[in-house]
Chains A and B, each alone.
Chain A
Amino acid sequence: MTNHIERQAKLLKASARAAKNITTILDPYELFQRTVDIICDEFGFYYAGVFLVDEARQYAVLKAGRGDAGKAMLREEHKLAIGGNSMIGASIANKKGRIALDVGEEAVFFENPHLPKTRSEMALPLIIGDEAIGALTVQSVEEAAFHEEDIDALQTMADQLAVAIQNSKLHRQEERRSRLLKAANRVGKETASILDLDQLLPQTVNIICEAYGLYYAGVFLLDEKGEYVVLRAGYGKAGKAMLEEGHKLRVGTDSMIGACVAMGEARIALDVGEERVHFKNPHLPHTRSEMALPLVYGGKTLGAVTIQSSEERAFGEDDITTLLTMAEHLAVAINNARLIDELKEAHNEILRNKVFEALTAASTEAIHWIGNKTLPISLTVSRLREELAADGKVDADSLKEDLDMIAESAAQIIQVKEQLIGAVREMKPRLVLLADAFQAAALQRGVSSETLKLSIAPEAAYVYADPTQLVRAFGNLLQNAVEAGAKTVRVDSRLGEERGVLEIRIEDDGAGMSREAQSKAWSPFFSQRGAAHHGLGLPAALHVISQSQGHMALVSEEGKGTTAALFMPQGRAVRAELKAEGVKSILLIDDNDDWSNLLSELLKGSTVKLTRSTDLKKLPAADLILVDENVADVSLDDVFAALAKAKLTAKTIVLASAINPENVTRYLREGVKDATVKPYSTNELNELLK
């Protein structure tokens, strides 16, 4: 009796300890495995196993088993029919514990090859409320190891286990719900900020699959006719393959997606084999559950999302709720992206119209201009013919005037050709001293040094451009300013906000332009200054600046003036060692301008003596004579005459800011040694002095 009481007390204690440990475990897999271990360890049993009833309530499926026998049976997906010929099946069916004291004598015992030593077994139902959710098996190697009283002691522990299983299930459901809500929020949050459909849709399927751990997700959008839904994004390799095939489904009842779009309702197949409308997809052979969620915005179905799992009955109520919320977010994001697309298209349409208008205006201006310039030629020729035909007598003065008119018209046409072609000549970009380019342009266009005011920051002294083209562009801008009545043209160069880019502002106090004139200012052949002007200066300047990888903007106010802002690549002068190579003295015929100061700076510290002068009466002796092509104080003809008189022409090199082949030919004919571009760096000076 005492032994019996002690045994009961020991069983109850062990049962209480096991129950205490079991109830703290929330993870279901850990719960089952730890349970069988705790039971075997506390009671010293040979084997313990946990079975749970499947959804169809047909079988008790083994979820955990002690030791190697348990592992082997789990691998085999061991299950027993409820109410069938097994201790577990009968225990669940009757909701009562059962004992087989000598298993060989127990009629309902199932001979298990994995547990050959079992001689006693107890099966305890796991009951929640009135329902048996599974059963616990405990087995001993001893015959008659269990007593009827032991059932009560161990049933308490089994009841605790059933509660723990229920808690774990609730916890799991709660955790899953939380995870699903987070995933839905993530889809909503991340997709809301993407306004490009080609980015939005692939991103969405990735988020869905990653967040929910799903086999596949895809987004279909309705085509323009509303006949098909076309796959626009699909997860993984299957998605890629289907996109490449141009996968689409007819709207209607042939497929889950088609039916979902046709009805504007979600469709769910928890076992796709049972869903009549499911489309058997060879790219997705493992799909066992599928959800098709409509994408509806403002009462209009835009498409559908397919969500697929490789597990049967993968989607619960919570999944459906959160995925529907996600689909609503996605529909809003798709609608937003489409609105942006429509806005972009509308903008492009406006732009196309504007470009067409500008081209039409430019062409009209060009035709008008060409007509006006060629007209005097045809008029004069026609009149001359009539005169000759009438009396054969031609007034010499009148004839001379007519020929002059023909010549002038032809010259204007050639001049325009030069302006048009000049800007598209081959570019030879190099380092250019900004101040020199402006001074050369001013001199060429007759802009006085009083009018042009330069303010150039040391770090913004050089640009990288073709000097000839740049001087032409600057000249056009300066000429425009002066022709607009500017008294002062201020040029300000400094480093811009963008790294490596100079901001060059050319600001005049001329007449400025009306808004209408500004809108036409970039068009070739548009001019505010009458028939004598070609209207090509600004477009040609723009062309040159664009070819130099720069850009240009114009701000103008009528009566106040115009500012042209040029943004150009910054040039950097690299200091190097000067190699004079036999040149000991240089005479520079030039003004005191920025380039002559630069030359003086480049020669500083060398053995070369530099003398600058514009006094042609006294030309000092020198090894080399450099002549700036653009000298304000003296004319080049006078310079050549003085050099010839002093027999110095052969030692002379003419230096130009903007090289011109016609001028070079002329200088060489004068007998100079060479004519080339001005050096702006030590390396270029070394080349010159070679």
Chain B
Amino acid sequence: MTTILLVDDEKLIQRSLEKTLLRAGYDVLTASDCKSGGEIFSQNADAVDIAVLDLNMPGFDGVPKNDAGLDLLNEIKKTKASLPVIILTAYDEVGKARDAVSSGASAFFVKGREQGLVELIQKTLKLDN
């Protein structure tokens, strides 16, 4: 079964996305910040098939930080360079999307269009395989 690492500090969004992904048939590991996200990934690096990371959330020091998701992406890629990563954001900005892609993200997803997230995950996994 495909395992997704989902990291988002908005508790309700995290849980709602988790339920959507569970219902779609995925295993979901959740975390609320870079630190716990990094730890969960380290413990499950082999099992995780794809990561969905919020862009703005608490960083490794627990303090909310812009683009903290990219920091976590970098850390994850050090362990598993081939892991596909989708960056989630509330901001519909081309610049941020470019930053995410140049940091190694496979896709950039603007929150509010979740209906397409499951399809995006499927498509990303398919492309990577």
Residue contact B16 to A383, C-beta cutoff 8 Å: yes
- Which residues in window 349-369 of A have CB below 8 A to B? 364, 367-368
Is A372 at the interface (CB under 8 A from chain B)?
A: yes
Our pick among A376, A528, A529 for the contact of B13 (Cβ within 8 Å) is: A376
Bound: A362/B64 CA distance, A? 16
Bound: A380/B11 CA distance, A? 13
Residue contact B64 to A527, C-beta cutoff 8 Å: yes
Q: Which residues of A contact B91 (CB under 8 A)?
A: 364, 368
Bound: A398/B15 CA distance, A? 11
With known contacts A368-B90, A529-B64, A383–B20 Cβ distance under 8 A: yes
B79 to chain A minimum Cβ distance, whole angstroms, is 26
Residue contact B16 to A531, C-beta cutoff 8 Å: no
B20 to chain A minimum Cβ distance, whole angstroms, is 5
Is B111 at the interface (CB under 8 A from chain A)?
A: yes
Residue contact B12 to A405, C-beta cutoff 8 Å: yes
Is B80 at the interface (CB under 8 A from chain A)?
A: no
Q: Which residues of B contact A528 (CB under 8 A)?
A: 63-64
Is B58 at the interface (CB under 8 A from chain A)?
A: yes
Q: Which residues of B contact A402 (CB under 8 A)?
A: 16, 19
Q: Which residues of A contact B16 (CB under 8 A)?
A: 375-376, 379-380, 383, 402, 405
Cross-chain pair count, CB within 8 angstroms: 64
Most buried by A among B9, B16, B115: B16
Which residue on A lies nearest to B19, using beta carbons? A383
Q: Which residues of B contact A405 (CB under 8 A)?
A: 12, 15-16
Q: Which residues of A contact B112 (CB under 8 A)?
A: 371, 375, 378
Residue contact B90 to A408, C-beta cutoff 8 Å: no
Residue contact A382 to B114, C-beta cutoff 8 Å: yes
Q: Which residues of A contact B57 (CB under 8 A)?
A: 531
Bound: A583/B63 CA distance, A? 57
Is B126 at the interface (CB under 8 A from chain A)?
A: no
Encode B39-64 as 1/0 by CB contact (under 8 A) with A: 00000000000000000111000011
Is A255 at the interface (CB under 8 A from chain B)?
A: no
Which residue on B lies nearest to A529, using beta carbons? B64
Residue contact A371 to B90, C-beta cutoff 8 Å: yes
Bound: A402/B57 CA distance, A? 23
Bound: A375/B12 CA distance, A? 9
Is A623 at the interface (CB under 8 A from chain B)?
A: no
- Which residues in window 21-53 of B have CB below 8 A to A? 23
Residue contact B13 to A383, C-beta cutoff 8 Å: no
Is A387 at the interface (CB under 8 A from chain B)?
A: yes
Is B17 at the interface (CB under 8 A from chain A)?
A: yes
- Which residues in window 76-129 of B have CB below 8 A to A? 90-91, 111-112, 114-115
Most buried by A among B11, B13, B91, B115: B13
Q: Which residues of B contact A368 (CB under 8 A)?
A: 56, 90-91
Bound: A387/B20 CA distance, A? 10
A11 to chain B minimum Cβ distance, whole angstroms, is 111
Residue contact B11 to A532, C-beta cutoff 8 Å: yes
Q: Which residues of A contact B9 (CB under 8 A)?
A: 530-531
B99 to chain A minimum Cβ distance, whole angstroms, is 17
Residue contact B13 to A375, C-beta cutoff 8 Å: yes
Is A676 at the interface (CB under 8 A from chain B)?
A: no
With known contacts A371-B112, A405-B12, A408-B12, A379–B17 Cβ distance under 8 A: yes
Residue contact A375 to B111, C-beta cutoff 8 Å: yes
Bound: A371/B10 CA distance, A? 11
Q: Which residues of B contact A613 (CB under 8 A)?
A: none
Our pick among A364, A371, A376, A530 for the contact of B12 (Cβ within 8 Å) is: A376
Which residue on B lies nearest to A527, using beta carbons? B64
Bound: A20/B75 CA distance, A? 112
Bound: A530/B23 CA distance, A? 28
B105 to chain A minimum Cβ distance, whole angstroms, is 20
Bound: A405/B114 CA distance, A? 16
Q: Which residues of A contact B63 (CB under 8 A)?
A: 528
Q: Which residues of B contact A529 (CB under 8 A)?
A: 64
Is A600 at the interface (CB under 8 A from chain B)?
A: no
Q: Which residues of B contact A387 (CB under 8 A)?
A: 23
Q: Which residues of B contact A375 (CB under 8 A)?
A: 10, 12-13, 16, 111-112, 114
Bound: A378/B114 CA distance, A? 9
Q: Which residues of B contact A382 (CB under 8 A)?
A: 114-115
A150 to chain B minimum Cβ distance, whole angstroms, is 112
Which residue on B lies nearest to A408, using beta carbons? B12
Q: Which residues of A contact B114 (CB under 8 A)?
A: 375, 378-379, 382
Bound: A380/B58 CA distance, A? 25
A338 to chain B minimum Cβ distance, whole angstroms, is 41
Is A585 at the interface (CB under 8 A from chain B)?
A: no
Is A409 at the interface (CB under 8 A from chain B)?
A: yes
Q: Which residues of A contact B20 (CB under 8 A)?
A: 379, 383
Report A's interface with B, CB cutoff 8 A.
Answer: 364, 367-368, 371-373, 375-376, 378-380, 382-383, 386-387, 398, 401-402, 405, 408-409, 527-532
8 A-B pairs, CB-CB below 8 angstroms?
A371-B112, A373-B12, A375-B12, A375-B13, A376-B16, A378-B112, A387-B23, A531-B11
| In the A-B complex, the 5 residue pairs with the closest CB atoms | A376-B12, A379-B16, A531-B10, A376-B16, A531-B9
Other A-B contacts than A379-B16, A401-B15, A408-B12, 8 sampled, CB-CB below 8 A, are A372-B13, A376-B12, A376-B15, A380-B16, A405-B12, A528-B63, A530-B9, A531-B57
